[in-house]
Every structure is written in structure tokens, then in C-alpha cells.
Amino acid sequence: MSTTDQRIVAANIVLTLDGRYHGAGGPGDMAAIVPYASTETARNHLGTIHENATTGVLGRANAEGFLGYWSAVAVDDNADPRDRAYAKWLLDTEKVIFSTTVTEMPWEHVRVVNAPAAEVITELKSVGTGEILVNTSPTITKALLAADLIDRLYLLITPEITGGGEQLFVDGLPASHWQLTSHQVGELGELAVVYDRKH
């Protein structure tokens, strides 16, 4: 398989204007994120991120939160159809979950791994078809950015500056060039963008 035939690795995350995925209060401080997560723009963006993905990649903590929450949405007849479509995709698709503390999880289509993200993703790229989506898992995304393995970024940018909290883009990453392939501005000032890597 040639390099051009390999699967695309995409990452999805919500960031503040100052590039943070949570506030100064720590991982539970989502005040600058949550108000924008269910807007029309965010929901439309959510529909975009999984349409070509055949493998979902998550960290253990995110998997527990996501799968717990979205399992209920998948069977909720009153849920927004875009949310239900994402929920069903998340439950039905192959999932690779990174964990150093557990070896199995109570959902279907799950493989739990305890190995460096770059090694696992490089292996996934060489087999199968469809996009590999790293789903709101910043630790994995950071490791893959450092290893120069991300091909597409699905970003929802919120119009807030937290002044503290973890940042996605840190010093020392390999230099890279990106092309804006999609963007939508929301009523609250949120910006949904898709960037594709220019090789």
C-alpha cells in the first residue's frame, strides 16, 4: 500500500480562542466550551466529523463519558436527528480506546490498547478503509501531532479566552501547513472549521 492509499487520520476537538480545551479550573472547567456545544453550527459540524469515519479513537476517560452519554441519545426519539446520527455512529463503529488502567470496556466494537498512540495509529493507517477519527481526546491528539500523524483537524472554536487550562498546540510540534476546506460561523460567534494537511 502506498502512502497515498493510507487512511486519513482526523482529530475533532473544541478549543477556545487561546487554544485551550478546558479552563483554568482544570479538566472539569468547561464553562468556555459547553454553551457552544449544542448550537446549530456545532450540530452541523458534528454531522460532518463522522460521515467518512470508520474507526473512532478515544482515551479511556472520554470513552466512559462519551459512550455513557451518547448511548441514551441514540435511542431518544426526541433527540436532534444530527445528535442521534452521531450517537449511533459512535456506538456502531469500531472503536480503539487507549487506557493504562483497564483492559476491557462494556461496549460493543471496542478494542482497548495500552501502547504509544503513534504506533497504534500507524498500524491502523495501513489496514482497512475510511477515516480514523480521534474523538475529542486531546492527549492522543497531542501525541499524534507531535508524531506528525494528523491529516485533518475538525475544530470548533469558541469566542472566549480562558487565560488558563491545557492548550492543544504546544511548543516543539513539527512545522506543518494546512488548508481551510470548510468553515461555518455560528450565531454565538463560534466557528466550525475543517483544516486538511497540505503534504
In the chain, the amino acid numbered 55 is T
Half-sphere exposure of residue 176: CA atoms within 13 angstroms, side-chain side: 21
Specify the CATH number for the domain of residue 62.
3.40.430.10
Structural domains of the chain, count: 1
Q: Which domain holds residue 159?
A: 3-198
Residue whose cell numbers read 466512559: 64
Band the pLDDT of 3: cuts 50, 70, 90.
very low
Tell me the pLDDT band of 2, cut-offs 50, 70 and 90: very low
Check pLDDT > 60 for residue 70: yes
Distance from C-alpha of 136 to C-alpha of 96, rounded to nearest angstrom: 13
Tell me, what's the pLDDT at 76? Answer: 93
Please write down the HEC assignment for all residues of the chain: CCHHHCCCEEEEEEEECCCECCCCCCCCCCCCCHHHCCCHHHHHHHHHHCCCEEEEEEEHHHHHHHHHHHHHHHCCCCCCHHHHHHHHHHHHCEEEEECCCCCCCCCCCEEEECCCHHHHHHHHHCCCCCEEEEECCHHHHHHHHHCCCCCEEEEEEECCCCCCCCECCCCCCCCCEEEEEEEEECCCCCEEEEEEEEC
pLDDT at 5: 66
Indicate the pTM of the whole model.
Answer: 0.93
**19-55 pLDDT, tens digit each:** 999 999 999 999 999 999 999 999 999 989 999 999 9
Q: What is the pLDDT of residues 115-155, one digit of tens each?
A: 999 999 999 999 989 999 999 999 999 999 999 999 999 99
For the cut 90, the answer to whether the pLDDT of residue 96 exceeds it is yes
